[in-house]
Amino acid sequence: MRRTTFFSTFRCLLLTAITIGALAAPSAQAARTTECTKLKLCYCVNDDFKPLIEEKVKFFRAAIAEQKAKGKAVGYISVPLSTLGGGYFDVNAEVSLVAKKRVETRFGEGNAWALSPSSNESDLTLPSGVRGSNDDYMLMWTKILEGPSGMGDDFDFVYFVGPTDFGALFGLTGTGDMDTIASYFDDRLGKDAGLKREVDRGRVTRSTFRNYYALKASVTFSNGAHDEWNIFRQLNDRRRADSKYGVANQIPMLFDGKSVAPAATEQAVTPGVSGACKI
């Protein structure tokens, strides 16, 4: 897949954040407080990020309203993004865009629009260059997903990315998939400075990359996606209990291209990063 300006820009921002964060770590960590949302989900956030988070929430609500005004069904793409467990951020971000395109093409671009968390506009970086933590990001996304009323009214569906979405990026056919992924890694390592940097740090190896994208590539292994699953489960709990909504007006949950079974949609999963600050 052709590299985009977004990924190059992100790597530059990340390097800047790491450098400045190393020099100014005490101030970056000085004011972390517990912030809770309408769904009573709490995150340990840096107070310096709260104005930026509110600005981003307003931006995305406006973007959603624009799509709603066009008569489109609005969805959210839940996808693992962090470089963890053998996965690599840039690959995951590309998959989120692949999934967004697949969803919009499936339903029709004139009738559906999906919000991808890997969009450039979602970046949380202060003027000082310090970048937000996972808690800061999840506070932002939770506020966006629950909406002003705490009932998720801005969203018509949520799409949880699964193995076939990742397979579409790698061109997997069901035959020799690990071979394909290993070859992809070898080829990309020679072209992608960011991937080489993660390999040099020991965060990604050829085998962990191969195993992650062949066996684990889905929201199942994502902290953020675990929180997002619980967000939509709670939104639907609220809707079922409210006569204005009821069972018929729950938010549809899709995983790997298929609707999630009723019993599964009502089950909570282990929280990802949500929780109060630990003293």
Average pLDDT on 224-249 reads: 97
Query: Model-level pTM?
Result: 0.86
pLDDT at 26: 38
Q: Which amino acid is at 159?
A: Y
Query: What percent of the chain has pLDDT above 90?
Result: 82
pLDDT at 124 over 60: yes
Q: For the chain, report the end-to-end CA distance as a whole number of angstroms.
A: 45
pLDDT score at 30: 52
| Domain boundaries, given as residue ranges, for the chain | 39-265
Average pLDDT rounded to a whole number, residues 4-19? 41
Enumerate residues 6+ apart whose C-beta is below 8 A from 243: none
- 172-224 pLDDT, tens digit each: 999 999 999 999 999 999 999 999 999 999 999 999 999 999 999 999 999 99
